[in-house]
Chains A and B, each alone.
Chain A
Amino acid sequence: DAEITQSPRHKITETGRQVTLACHQTWNHNNMFWYRQDLGHGLRLIHYSYGVQDTNKGEVSDGYSVSRSNTEDLPLTLESAASSQTSVYFCASSESKGNGELFFGEGSRLTVL
Chain B
Amino acid sequence: QQPVQSPQAVILREGEDAVINCSSSKALYSVHWYRQKHGEAPVFLMILLKGGEQKGHEKISASFNEKKQQSSLYLTASQLSYSGTYFCGTEIGGTYKYIFGTGTRLKVLA
Contacts and interface: CB of A to CB of B under 8 A. Distances in A.
Bin the interface of chain A by size.
20 to 34
Given A42-B2, A43-B42, A44-B2, A102 B102 contact: no
A41 B102 contact: yes
A101 B32 contact: yes
A113 to B, nearest CB: 22
Interface stretch (A15-23, A74-82, A103-111): A103-111
A43 B30 CA distance: 17
Interface stretch (B61-69, B76-84, B92-100): B92-100
A71 interface: no
B47 A100 contact: yes
Provide the main secondary structure of the chain B interface: strand
Closest 6 pairs (CB-CB, A-B): A104-B41, A43-B100, A42-B102, A42-B103, A99-B47, A101-B44
Nearest to A95: B96
A88 to B, nearest CB: 10
A100 B96 contact: yes
A103 B89 CA distance: 13
A94 interface: yes
A31 interface: yes
Contact of B96 (A42, A90, A94): A94
A90 B32 contact: no
A96 interface: yes
A48 B32 contact: no
Given A43-B42, A107-B41, A102 B87 contact: no
